[in-house]
Structure 1
Amino acid sequence: MQAIRKRYFPALAEYIRGGKEASLHHANELGKQFYEFNQEEILAVHEECVQELAASVDMKEVPKIYHRSYIFLTELMITSRDQQPDSAEKSVRIRELMPRSDRSFERVKNKYENVLQHMDSGIALFDSDGILSFINVQMAKLLDIPRKTLVGCNIREILLHRDLKISTKRTILRLYREMFLKRSRYYEFQHKDGKHLLATVTYGDDLEGDFLFSVKDVSEYKQIEQSALQNDKLAMLGKIAAAIAHEIRNPLTSIRGFIQLLRPYLLDVGKEEYARIILTEIDRANDIIYEFLNSSKPSAPMKQATSIDHLIREVVMLTESESLLRNCEISVESCQAEAKVSIDIKQVKQVILNLLKNSLDAVEEVQNERRGRIDILLSNDGQYVQIIIKDNGKGMDKSTMSRLFDPFFTTKQEGTGLGLSVSYRIIRNHGGTIRVDSQVGSGTEFSIYLPLAV
């Protein structure tokens, strides 16, 4: 039966896919070649091939596929009959066997169609000759090509498909190299829309030489993994903070006290400026330690219901004068005047101020190219308030974005690298999330999600 299927399936798929009557010559040729085979074997192969073809199309197209396959099979059987003696008796036998294929097909179709077609993973099945015998809805969506035009094609024909996009073609070539040539069972890659996808391939004795290829969206798992990694970093930071904070602050307090005692003597010799600088630097060191401690374990939020619109406008007023000095316009667009969130006002205000300050720094670096602009947008989906802070500054590359919330990571000369890690922890402690999207030269967009007050 394998010898029959190897030649039968591609010919049948081409006829059904192409719809050209001239392609029936394949049925004639196969009929001449198959006259020595038992008709029941040919019908069994036909039944199997039709099931695979029908599983890759919408239900409304199944009758059309079955009708065309019946024409192909009839043509083949007539040619095969003409090559044999006692053809009249065999013709009667063929007419008796064909309806059985129809009934069997419907049973199998109803049993497996919905399960395979509507899985959240993309699935494609290649036979041992590299011919695509099955593809489900999700996989066709990833390729952005109708399923009925793919079944019966090999890898080369898929790559040459006129509707296949160049980016998708490159991805297929990369997967083919990694998973079929290098025999890797798993391969993770990023789709053009930013989703993280995990491809797996299964083959061996269990599949009788076939290759089962599946692609699953693992973006949520990647986010969980990143969150876990971030929490591990912050936990380690907390251990370091607890160990060294007091050891540093105690001598700084003593040094500050002695400098104040020496201040009158420095004034006598005209060196009071030295005392001022020393005290300023000691205060700065204390501020860094304070931020360090907050980044490891911000105090538990003292929540109260408040208008998010009012809070945002209050923060904008605080930064208005600085934004004017930097020739930057800040605009607020909100249709959520009544939306309330249960938050620690002081902590969330600290987060918004920190993000606005970062945006002002970013737009200041491109002042020669364009005027700075920061847009703040408020919306909600019934569960969360979304705060978007978008600037037209210099933007960031992917490498910088991936480390943005890491403690001590900074791109500023005088930055501590603690502001965003503190902001991250504060928003998480409020049951929300904070995300960033940016492109070099096109600005940065921070999105904060906070649960609405019940």
Structure 2
Amino acid sequence: MASSSRCTCRSSASPVPSSSSAATAPDLRVRLLWLTIFRTIVTTLIMGGLALQLIGEHTRAELSLGDVASFGLIGASYVFTLINGVLLRAGRVGNGAAWVQIPFDVLLAGAVVFVTGGARSPFAFLFLVSIIGAAVLLGTRGAVAGLVGAALGYSLVVGWQLSSAAYLDRRLVSEVGVQLLAQLLIAVLAGYVGEQLSRTGGSLSARERDLRALTVLQNEIVRAMPSGLLTSDAYGHVSFANPAAEAIFGVPSPAMLGNSLDEIIPGAIGAPRGRRIERRVQTPRGELILGLSVTPLAGGEGLLVVFQDLTELRRVETELERIDHLATLGRLSAQLAHEIRNPLAAMRGSAQMLASDGAGGPSERLARLIVRESDRLAELVEGYLKLARPPPPQLAPTRLDAVVRETLELLRSDPAFAAVPVEEWVAPVSAMCDAAQVRQVLINLLRNAAHAVQPSRGRLRVVVDSRDGVPTVEVWDSAGAIAPEDLSRIFEPFFSRSRGGSGLGLSTVQTIVQAHGGHIDVSSSPETGTLFSVKLRAE
């Protein structure tokens, strides 16, 4: 009752074992396990049969020698099975363990047949079972070995029985011949089936290993993908999310599983198949721009969504477009400003001469008006020139908290600013910056905030802090007056929603911050207010 544990030698050309290959160690272990279980069941049934036989013979007062021998054989079988179980549990499985099964099964069958009637024993079929078990374990070789052992064992039992008989029973000889022929046929058939079982088992084991390796490789590829990947079932519920998807959304995979795909990526279920599209998605990390493609899974039982976070890429593209636009405007502004400055200086000088010649008369008033408007125009032209060609910052270690306090003190002399309550959350933080230019940034931001909150009698807040080692200055107002569609344009030159505004203040602020190697962000809504966050370089 045993399967081949011969060495599986596979050529490099084929992963499938040859017909002579035996079972691998794990396969042999499984076969030995089933053989042990089967032997235990058969032994228990034999013991039950003998017990019923003894119960039927209630006239006997004590057990015969044959009965004792039968139960002794059953006990030996249990002991052998127990030893096999211990060896299997310890992993000590090899060819030796398989070959030992054959003589034991033949001996057990011969002993049972001998004590239960010899050639006419109802348990003579056990020899056939031992041949089948040997073929299952060791293929053709096991079938041959089982046949030799069974034929020899059966012949010895019959020979012993015939040696003590008074005459030769021809019918008994015929039954012995039939039994030996049956053993031969069973050996041929079981050997063939066992060999096919070994070959098929080896092939299946190889394919199982290949499938397992392919599955591991696939899982590693999916985990290592920089792109997010989601799959859904036929009902549109998320069935899988890879680690990149967790990182992009900021949500663990278990929290996404079972949710509708449209809840995570709106419009994904109805998106065109196989085409690249973009979607804006709200996540715990904020609004993201995703580039994604949606493909049906094989068989149409669900969808595969592959996506990337394009938020930073689109921001950089927008920033590059703005810089290019600013460069064009800067060149144009510089040329116009240069052409305007000289005539403007001449006009102002002439107006001053007219004012001095017409002292006390109407012409003096008009001349001074010209001078005043010329000064305003000159200041505007100077602003254009600074925007086009800003002076490089003179970087030095600077206490941002001191610059903020000085700027607030300066602005409190402005009646429009003095009426607005200002909260100061200022920590001692230093940065490499130009104090004068940073002060100009703060003046622009604080004045804009004060103008925004005056109608609603709102409030301002100034924060100086270090965020992850980055010096940060924040100016917040409670108005939240910047419309969502204006957030992407407020740093453009000449863009302003304020009445009388030049549209240069915030553009100048961004130019100064970028010249410092820093970054400025803005967010605004009526619920949360408007927040400008300026990040500078640390010392």
Which TM-score tier does this pair reach, normalised by the shorter chain?
0.5 to 0.7
Q: CA deviation at 1:119?
A: 3.1
> C-alpha separation between the residues in 1 aligned to 2:331 and 2:256?
59
SS in 1 for 2:413: helix
> C-alpha separation between the residues in 1 aligned to 2:315 and 2:418?
36
Amino acid at match of 2:282: H
What RMSD in Å do the two structures reach over aligned CA positions? 3.6
Amino acid at match of 2:513: I
Say whether residues 1:103 and 2:209 are aligned partners: yes
Q: 1:379 to 1:109 in 2, by over 3 A?
A: farther
Gaps of at least 5 residues in structure 1 are 1-88, 151-160
Say whether residues 1:451 and 2:534 are aligned partners: no
Q: CA deviation at 1:171?
A: 6.5
Q: Is the 8 A contact 2:482 2:530 kept in 1?
A: yes
Q: 1:107 to 1:348 in 2, by over 3 A?
A: same
Structure 1, 92-101 or 274-283: larger mean CA deviation: 92-101
Q: Is the 8 A contact 2:495 2:503 kept in 1?
A: yes
Say whether residues 1:377 and 2:463 are aligned partners: yes
> C-alpha separation between the residues in 2 aligned to 1:405 and 1:149?
38
> C-alpha separation between the residues in 2 aligned to 1:129 and 1:255?
77
Structure 1, 272-281 or 100-109: larger mean CA deviation: 100-109
Q: CA deviation at 1:366?
A: 1.4
Q: Is the 8 A contact 1:323 1:360 kept in 2?
A: no
Gaps of at least 5 residues in structure 2 are 1-192
Q: Is the 8 A contact 2:241 2:256 kept in 1?
A: no
> C-alpha separation between the residues in 1 aligned to 2:330 and 2:250?
46
Say whether residues 1:353 and 2:439 are aligned partners: no
Q: Is the 8 A contact 2:464 2:473 kept in 1?
A: yes
What pairs with 1:252-267 in structure 2 (closer than 5 Å)? Answer: 252-267=344-359
> C-alpha separation between the residues in 1 aligned to 2:401 and 2:433?
13
Equivalence for 1:154: none
Question: What percent of counterpart residues are identical?
Answer: 27
Q: CA deviation at 1:105?
A: 4.5
Residue 276 of structure 2, aligned match among 164, 170, 185: 185
What pairs with 1:44-59 in structure 2 (closer than 5 Å)? Answer: none
Q: Is the 8 A contact 2:417 2:447 kept in 1?
A: no
> C-alpha separation between the residues in 1 aligned to 2:233 and 2:276?
17
Say whether residues 1:196 and 2:289 are aligned partners: yes
Equivalence for 2:337: 245
Equivalence for 1:112: 218
After superposition, give the CA deviation of every residue in 1:181-218 in whole Å (9 maximum; x if it has no partner). xx6333343434212211124689xx999965211111
Count of aligned positions = 342
After superposition, give the CA deviation of every residue in 1:249-288 in whole Å (9 maximum; x if it has no partner). 1111111111111113443434433222221111111111
Structure 1, 269-278 or 120-129: larger mean CA deviation: 120-129
Residue 301 of structure 1, aligned match among 393, 399, 419: 393
Equivalence for 2:432: 342
What pairs with 1:1-12 in structure 2 (closer than 5 Å)? Answer: none
> C-alpha separation between the residues in 2 aligned to 1:148 and 1:272?
78
Q: 1:344 to 1:129 in 2, by over 3 A?
A: closer
**What TM-score results when the alignment is normalised by the length of structure 1?**
0.66
> C-alpha separation between the residues in 2 aligned to 1:420 and 1:254?
31
> C-alpha separation between the residues in 1 aligned to 2:380 and 2:339?
14
SS in 2 for 1:191: strand
Structure showing greater Rg: 2
Residue 322 of structure 1, aligned match among 383, 402, 414: 414
Q: Is the 8 A contact 1:309 1:378 kept in 2?
A: yes
Residue 404 of structure 2, aligned match among 294, 312, 320: 312
> C-alpha separation between the residues in 2 aligned to 1:271 and 1:333?
53
**What TM-score results when the alignment is normalised by the length of structure 2?**
0.56
Q: 1:323 to 1:177 in 2, by over 3 A?
A: farther
After superposition, give the CA deviation of every residue in 1:377-405 in whole Å (9 maximum; x if it has no partner). 12214542011111112421211111010
